[in-house]
Homo-oligomer: A and B are copies of this chain.
């Protein structure tokens, strides 16, 4: 446990001032090239490492970006994070990550920690419970950029990054209708969240545009977990008449629902067609393969981080627009194909 080498040690060694050492190590133009050379050699040889705290303290920035996510153990969020880490790493930023576990209380606590850690920017995907954005006002009023992605909320100072959930749901529902479904159930999550509210809207509009009735009873609000899918299946099995199509707001829930229906001797897609959302790995494994919406997680993460970097480096008012929409697509697989003849029609880009 030897003590750290500081720029003062290097300065003493080379008989220069700490000022020059600091400048040289930051590649400041006002330092002679040869001096720079000598200094960087000495630094390497002496095993110097910069003290980021001293630096941060003085410059008032941290090169650290905060991330608050509902759950870390979700395929979608882990691919988003993978994308974020990649871009952040390349740009020399650290990522501090915390999870709200879908509770408002933890989301607030995490936001405060991030604020005290003085992150340069914040990325957030909201919890189920969140109603207002008060706990992010600290950031906004200090000019720290906050970016919402996927589970977003309107804020005039903040950029949001989403896919067009309404349109995706509209396409999915329309596809079910084209397959001959007339009595479709929609399983979705907490309607406080845009993703679920928008998908419900898309579902509803598709029905209306195709002259089908919309009924509240055909909408099941759930936690969207594996268990929730099983429960939803039970609920569906008690419906009379049975629906002939189900549009579920994520694949985890869609798959467990599908499995439970199969166990009850329902034929998929003949009796009931099923569509999920996310294009998780399980959607390609379940039998029949699940029709779903391809959701660009990694790309969303990369875009979110790039937009944040723009706001950090560029001028503050450099924000191109308040909401960025990423492309998503309907991936048609067996679970929704009632008419086999349609099987050729592969992927519909939205």
CA distance A142 to B73 in the complex (A): 33
Contact of A118 among B51, B81, B142, B255 (CB under 8 A): B51
Select the residue from A226, A282, A286 with max chain B CB neighbours within 10 A. A282
Question: Count of chain A residues with Cβ under 8 Å from any Cβ of B?
Answer: 52
Bound-complex Cα distance A89 to B99 (A): 9
> In the complex, which residues of chain B have a beta carbon less than 8 angstroms from the beta carbon of A81?
72-73, 97
Query: Could you list which residues of chain A lie within 8 angstroms of chain B, going by C-beta atoms?
Result: 1-2, 49-54, 56-57, 62, 64, 71-75, 77-79, 81-82, 85-86, 89, 94-99, 106, 110, 113, 115-118, 141-143, 226, 252, 255, 259, 281-282, 285-287, 297-298
Select one of B143, B281, B298 contacting A226, CB under 8 A: B281
Bound-complex Cα distance A57 to B59 (A): 14
Q: Which of B94, B116, B287 contacts A113 (CB 8 A)?
A: B94
Residues of B contacting A255 in the complex (Cβ-Cβ under 8 angstroms): 285
Closest to A72 in B: B82
| A143 CB → nearest B CB, Å | 4
A49-B95 contact given A57-B54, A252-B281, CB 8 Å threshold: no
A68 to chain B, nearest CB (A): 11
Partner of A57, one of B57, B77, B96, B115: B57
Of B54, B110, B116, which is within 8 A of A49 by CB? B116
Q: Which of B115, B143, B298 contacts A73 (CB 8 A)?
A: B298
Q: Contact at B72–A99, with CB atoms within 8 Å?
A: no
Interchain CB contact under 8 A, A97 and B97: yes
Are A73 and B78 in contact, CB atoms less than 8 angstroms apart?
Answer: yes
Residues of B within 8 A of A259 (CB): 285
Q: Is the CB of B73 within 8 A of A82?
A: yes
In the bound complex, do residue A89 and residue B82 qualify as a contact, i.e. CB atoms below 8 Å apart? no
A118 and B286 contacting across the interface, CB-CB below 8 Å? no
| Chain B residues whose CB sits within 8 angstroms of the CB of A85 once the complex forms | 72, 97-99
